[in-house]
Structure 1
């Protein structure tokens, strides 16, 4: 099709075809932007009178899926940050604390014997605003030992310190993550501390936990938030349903064959 024949309706039809082919909304959005740039250049050169691409023909950018680090990448990141900040990586990846919550977590907020973390504040003394954010979080014995050892080594009143027994800052943690990610193969340039929560979500989902459990552990306000963010990580429900029905039918067929064999 020549450029002069392209109409807004043509662009909309093309967009629908791309979506039907299974392309991600963000990719369709990027292709539309590229086409719009080409058409703008054609207008500038006098080839076209106007650009057929506009807001009316543009698809939504879509919500990009979160990047999920592998377990190997998480441990590599843990080993690459300064030793006094490694508890922060543990709290992000295996407890799901946000950056400010990791900074604000006091030693007194952790029951090492029972394996429970009770987030109370964020940053330098600001209380968490919702009951959901203050949900007690169970941790395994192994993690309790790791955190207890860090407290014994670095001292102070906070789980994550500046290495001199004082509370660290969100800025210091994010700076350490930015520096460390360059040493870990496969981590994107925009990887940040919050992305460790995505790893925890994927770990819980891969373990077979349902949406309500994952919502509770990540302290989301609703299950919709959890599904909107991580729904693509759960096994396809259609395939699960097909497998469940198939298993019943296969068991029935086996039973009939066994019965027929016994009668002969």
Structure 2
């Protein structure tokens, strides 16, 4: 329902009701302006892009407060990271109305962030956070559309992971404190992530069947995805190493510190940083996560296909596996040449045979 009515003071009152039945009205000096406004609002109702005129005044900072309140149900570390991202967003766009932010301004912002020295991956993460915040605002009908898109995205850095040699992995293992050497085994030969290795309990390892079943991450939090809980088959040689470790350092978790308590991720990374200095060729930025890259390279070198590698690394999709490790698969140029050549040669042989018979 929409209408325009002339008031006693000579102004025109345009009014309409939205899909919730709420009435909205504005006053105009000219009737044509009232009609234009009414046409815009009713068209927005039809197309599903209608925004309450009062709600449209919401600023980026105000919406971020509301958004963070709803986001607070996630794990504490995830919320902390979101707050850091939001602080950057509010510093740039906080005083602006949500609907006033333009794609060009988003692109200019990401360019400025890169110029300030922030890494490509961090700027990409900030843009993703802004896109997430706007996506929820569109869903709540605070704004009709988001200024973020693939066109405004700064792009993700595609840096190839460093893959250590087998010799470097064993050298790193030997350079680690005896109490936590098993961490290198879990990363390089089972593909566990840092928090997963620190959270792995003795009860999560089936020493007889040769299966590691990650159930929690440090300290005892649920794993981030169901895929992360996928059991990992491991050889008897690895379970024997882990069994000997458990017999020597008895505790509820596989990895413990000098005090016998559960080892934390920061302590593990600190030990890796110290040990890597004793290993020739390991780069300055080598982390425990890079042991997982070695595990992937080991599987690929053995002939495992992408689905097997995805399953062992417990990636949610094969796309993640290919994006990270596609360069490690052997070059198939010669294989494709051979396949095509076999068909062409067979055809040529057939034609020669037919000519001889004729």
What does 1:100-111 align with in structure 2 at a 5 Å threshold? 100-111=195-206
Aligned to 2:336: 241
Q: What residue ranges of structure 2 are gaps of 5+ in the alignment?
A: 1-114, 116-153, 354-358
> How many equivalent residue pairs?
198
Q: Is the aligned partner of 1:186 residue 2:281?
A: yes
Which of structures 1 and 2 has the larger relative contact order (alpha carbons within 8 angstroms, sep 6+)?
1
Cα deviation code 1:106-129 (max 9, x no counterpart):
000000000001100000110113
Cα deviation code 1:5-63 (max 9, x no counterpart):
xxxxxxxxxxxxxxxxxxxxxxxxxxxx9xxxxxxxxxxxxxxxxxxxxxxxxx97841
TM-score, structure 1 as length reference: 0.70
Quick one: distance in 2 between partners of 1:109 and 1:249? 55
Rg larger in 1 or in 2? 2
Q: What residue ranges of structure 1 are gaps of 5+ in the alignment?
A: 1-32, 34-58, 260-264
Offset at residue 94 of structure 1 (A): 0.4
**Partner of 2:167: helix, strand, or coil?**
helix
Contact 1:205 1:233 in 2 (8 A): yes
What does 1:131-142 align with in structure 2 at a 5 Å threshold? 131-142=226-237
TM-score, structure 2 as length reference: 0.52
Contact 1:96 1:218 in 2 (8 A): yes
Quick one: distance in 2 between partners of 1:224 and 1:94? 22
**Partner of 1:144: helix, strand, or coil?**
helix
Contact 1:157 1:165 in 2 (8 A): no
Cα deviation code 1:225-247 (max 9, x no counterpart):
00000001112233321133446
Contact 1:101 1:122 in 2 (8 A): yes
The Cα RMSD (Å) is: 2.2
What does 1:10-89 align with in structure 2 at a 5 Å threshold? 62-89=157-184
Quick one: distance in 2 between partners of 1:248 and 1:203? 34
Aligned to 1:130: 225
Quick one: distance in 2 between partners of 1:102 and 1:77? 16
